[in-house]
Structure 1
Amino acid sequence: MSNQNSTDPFEPGTDIEICSNDNGFRGAWYSGTVLKPKSNRNKQSILVQYKTLMSDEAGTKPLRETIDIIQGRPIPPREPRDREFKFSEEVDAYYNDGWWEGIVTGVLPGERYSVFFRATREQLEFGRAELRLHREWVYGNWVPPLEDEASISVELKSSNNDKFYKGALVEVSSDEDGFQGAWFAATVIEQLNNGNFKVEYKSLRNDDDTAFIMEEVDYNHIRPCPPTEIVDNFRLYEEVDGLYNDGWWVGVISKVSSKHKYEVFFRGTDEEIVFKHSDLRRHVEWINGKWVSSSSGMLSGRTEVE
């Protein structure tokens, strides 16, 4: 029996979702149950049992695994049964026994939707019951929270495109091997007739190092530059972006070495890298046309920046 009302989201017996770092599973969230906590000198870990992943070929023995606590989160709130998803909304799609983040690229007849996955560059079709609104677990709160959905203004592609005018500073994501999950600063050169954008990167140069790379990108791979924020210090287990190899990569503070240095864990590569304070920024998500981040004032709060 799960303890969903417990103040400790990782108390033994509690149902949670688990992010895997194994090849072929990175980026997906799987349901599981906390069996017991374990602690090491530098990290906090827990023993979990998956609900949909099995350890034997017969599929009768649930997989058990010891994970770092930053790989777990509570079960997200359920969607209303009559919820309809909109074009360009960020969603999680249930696929291969887990939930994978994607973007709605088509609203189809019969309550079905086309969903594009940046990580694999695939577009698949799902029924409404197989989707949920994409949410982030931020300082003990779901963002956006279920109760505020009716008041959230959903900006469609046409209104968001106003932010990507000629000369606008933006960030662009890449699906190329070795760059997946990173965001790179760029300038919009022009919007093309097909709805895509021609951009010039501010830090990526061509092979002979004679000019900055120019590239055509689509709506699913561009966003405004995050708002500038002064952060005095980052906290353990706080989500951050680290500046590495000319791009910003999302990770989690796994160790506070000093006031000016931090170890950051990256789920996508299962790496830990030391960063200076000046090479980190608070992680924010571009959700429904707004920047959403944790409030610097309250652990349970959030800040929305237009």
Structure 2
Amino acid sequence: MLNPENEIHSFVKGSQVEVSSDEEGFKGAYFEATILECPPKYKKRKKALVIYRTLLTDDGRSPLTECIDLVYMRPLPPAEDSARENFEENDIVDARYRDGWWLGVVRKVFDDSSYMVYFDNPPDVIHFQKENLRTHLDWVNGKWVLPEKQGMSY
């Protein structure tokens, strides 16, 4: 997660970002957005106005815009090499699902480069093709960090 005191200057109007949420049913998910307005430096509550790339308003007619606290924003992760080797069991991944990227763990690898991915929140196991997965990276103190493999079972 972003530390707003150290990283506020790295986000400017027009920046492409990913936004997370603490809302029930959305924890562990990131949604792509563009910053429309940045908070003034003198404001105590650091929020930015964003427009989402895939989330729509309730009527479904236009992209959703929201004021987001900077602690829920991070830059887009670096692009992956499309020739990346296959994932392995227990790799932590982000899966393109329900209009965003959801944090999961590879539980089974199939011969056709598809995967069963376990999600903690909400609990579920879903089958994905390789092109809908990416290596999960954490944004820590302004740097991308690769997490260790998960050993949890479901």
Same fold (TM over 0.5): yes
Who is 1:34 aligned against? Answer: 35
How do 1:157-196 and structure 2 match up within 5 A? none
* Match 2:125 to one of 123, 146, 163: 123
Q: Which has the larger radius of gyration?
A: 1
Q: What are the within-5 Å matches in structure 2 for residues 126-275 of structure 1?
A: 126-144=128-146, 219-220=151-152
Structure 2 CA distance, aligned partners of 1:8 and 1:79? 26
Match of residue 50, structure 1, among 49, 52, 61: 52
The letter for the 1-side match of 2:33 is: G
Q: 1:121 Cα shift? A: 2.3
Counterpart AA for 1:109: D
Structure 2 gaps of 5+ residues are 1-7
- Once residues 81 and 144 of structure 1 are traced to their aligned partners in structure 2, the CA distance between those partners, rounded to angstroms, is 18
Partner SS, residue 129 of structure 1: helix
Query: If the length of structure 2 is used for normalisation, what is the TM-score?
Result: 0.84
Q: So what's the TM-score if we normalise by structure 1?
A: 0.44
SS for the counterpart of 2:131 is helix
SS of the residue 1:70 aligns to: helix
What residue is the counterpart of 1:18 in the other structure?
Answer: 19
1:56: how far off?
Answer: 3.9
CA contact (8 A) 1:87 1:106 kept: yes
Matches of 1:110 and 1:46 in 2, distance apart?
A: 42
SS in structure 2 of the partner of residue 32 of structure 1: strand
CA RMSD for the aligned pairs?
A: 2.3
Q: CA shift at 1:41, angstroms?
A: 4.5
Whose RCO is larger (CA < 8 A, sep 6+)? 2
* Contact 2:57/2:64 (8 A) holds in 1: yes
Match of 1:239 in 2: none
User: What's the % identity of the aligned pairs?
Assistant: 37
Alpha-carbon contact 2:25-2:121 (below 8 Å) kept: no
- Counterpart CA distance in 2 for 1:123 and 1:54 is 26
Alignment check: 8 A CA contact 2:27 2:121 kept = no
2:26 alignment partner AA: F
- Secondary structure of the equivalent of 2:37? strand
Per-residue deviation at 1:120? Answer: 2.3
1:85-127: CA deviations, max 9, x gaps? Answer: 1111111111100111111001112210010112222110101
